[in-house]
Amino acid sequence: MASGDERHGEEEGNYGDATMGALREIYAGYAWADVASLEPEAAAARVRVRGAAQAVRAVGRRVAFLVLRQGSATVQCVVSGGAGGGMARFAAGLSRESVVDVAGVVSLPREPVRGTTQQLVEIQVEKLHCVSRAVSNLPISVEDAARSEEDVARAKAAGEQRAHVGQDKRLDNRVIDLRTAANQAIFRVQCQVENVFRQVLLSEGFVGIHTPKLLGGSSEGGASVFKLDYNGQPACLAQSPQLHKQMAVCGGFERVFLVGPVFRAESSYTNRHLCEFVGLDAEMALRDHYSEVCDVVDRLFVAMFDHLNKNCAKELEAIQRQFPFKPLKYLKTTLRLDYNEGIRMLQEAGVDVDPMGDLNTEAEKKLGELVRDKYDTEFYMLCRYPSAVRPFYTMPCPDDPRYSCSFDVFVRGEEIISGAQRVHDPELLTAQAEARGIDVATIATYIDAFRYGAPPHGGFGVGLERVVMLFCGLGNIRKTSLFPRDPNRLAP
């Protein structure tokens, strides 16, 4: 029989600080498991999990309860037993957010464990090692960052204090902020939006491409470009893949899409603008009418919203807990309004708008309210914009060139998609570029592409971050950018 000292030595070998490689033999016989997969059916299984020490609570000298977090899933680990209680003391001394390995037996608690996602199971810990120790004084805590504004307000009303982590503080410490359940969910939803975008367009015969982000001239016109030196030549970062995706269509691909960064050097201090965002773009040859592009947008986004509601219920619930929002209202066949009809609705509601001008943010939001009340949808298209408010490459309407073959798409009263038929006639394209003050020499290769034979075509672009922001009613696009870039932020 082993002596007390021998048993104490064995216990010490089962816990402590250790490198990943040193643990392989120590943890032999335990199967790796994901916290999210631990259910009652796994009872009595010998498992090994790795995660962050979200919380530790000591009960006496020989028992400690450790909440282990992996992604957004959490499980309670019970550290007990042993002659000296050394493992429990080691657990109690762990700093929050330290990365630890736990090995033990899955068991069923007498009562559901409150405060964890895996409430019907816990782990009886047999081995515990810290593989990366976090500093003891974190700049923000995950618990505080996960608190909703409503929770803070309720605590204040009850005379209690609850820390509120502001947007800038979150972004300054984004690595910790991303660990909250809501943020874990937001970016998993974002991943699904991108996946559905690809899958639906592939099913519609589109080909994925990549276009250059370094340009010799502006792709949109105007001064909102990031200028740089390109081997002694003036250049800028692409505001849009517009010109090159059109050239790809002219190159014979007919239907193309891409996902990539877009850069806008504007004073983007609003809740919906960034200096860098992820663009979801598509371009396609047309047979009869630019409404064919609208048809693709309709099928794409209805499929996307259906997918999110069906397959991301858990993620949407996690977002809802911290950032409450109402589910998006949308129709199975997307509503399309003529621009003049939208103007008429606004004027009848007493809004002063220029019938041939662009809609400002307030007018867009008001029209969104009017459409929602009248048609019971928060997702709709506004078609046939005045030519003067669209880019130089937009095709004028054949029956009235004051208007264009163009459309915007709105979610919750905010624009997310801009699309149109493009000008494929080089002479008309040149004239419209010159009329907008664009140096035609800087886009000569673009215009020349249409001199070699070009099919009628059109397309659209949408910001990935804006889609997620508006679908989830988040109110600020910085919440849906992993590491946002605006005029004041270039780190982390």
Give the helix ranges, DSSP H, for 386-491.
Answer: 426-435, 444-448, 464-471
Least confident of 221-225, 229-233, 301-305: 221-225
DSSP assignment of 187-202 equals HHHHHHHHHHHHHHHH
Does the pLDDT value for residue 21 go beyond 80? no
Q: How confident is the model at residue 366 (pLDDT cuts 50, 70, 90)?
A: very high
Of 297, 302, 275, nearest in space to 284 by CA: 297
Query: Of the candidates 212, 287, 271, 272, which has an alpha carbon nearest to the alpha carbon of residue 243?
Result: 212
DSSP state of 263: E
Q: Picking from 7-11, 139-143, 245-249, 264-268, which range would have the lowest pLDDT averaged per residue? A: 7-11
Query: Residue 411, exposed/middle/buried by CB under 10 A (0-12, 13-18, 19+)?
Result: buried
Give yes or no for residue 4 having a pLDDT over 60: no
Give the burial string for 392-409 (b: 16+ CB within 10 Å, else e). Answer: bbbbbbeeeeebbbbbbb
Name the token pair of 295.
């048809």
Q: Whole-prediction pTM value?
A: 0.92
Report the C-alpha gap between 95 and 368 in whole angstroms.
Answer: 49
Between residues 133 and 8, which one has the greater pLDDT?
133
The pLDDT value recorded for residue 2 is 43
- When the pLDDT of each residue in the chain is averaged and rounded to a whole number, the result is 93
**CA of 146: how far to CAs of 181, 310, 336, in Å?**
7, 25, 39
pLDDT at 220 over 80: no
For 265-292, write each residue's pLDDT tens digit.
977 688 888 999 999 999 999 999 999 9
- In this predicted model, what pLDDT tens digit does every residue of 61-97 receive, in sequence order? 899 999 999 999 999 999 997 667 899 999 999 999 9
Amino acid identity of 186? I
Instruction: Specify the pLDDT at position 156.
Output: 84
Residue 441 CA: distances (Å) to CA of 233, 243, 438: 14, 14, 9
CA distance 442 to 446: 9
Q: Rounded distance, CA 159 to CA 360, Å?
A: 42
Residues annotated as catalytic (active site), given as ranges: 264, 266, 272-273, 415, 418, 466
* Helix orientation angle between 291-311 and 181-203, rounded to the nearest 10 degrees: 140
Give the amino acid at 383.
C
- Residue 6 pLDDT level (bands cut at 50, 70, 90): very low
Residue 201: C-alpha distances to residues 246, 257, 309 (Å): 16, 7, 20
User: At residue 8, does pLDDT exceed 70?
Assistant: no
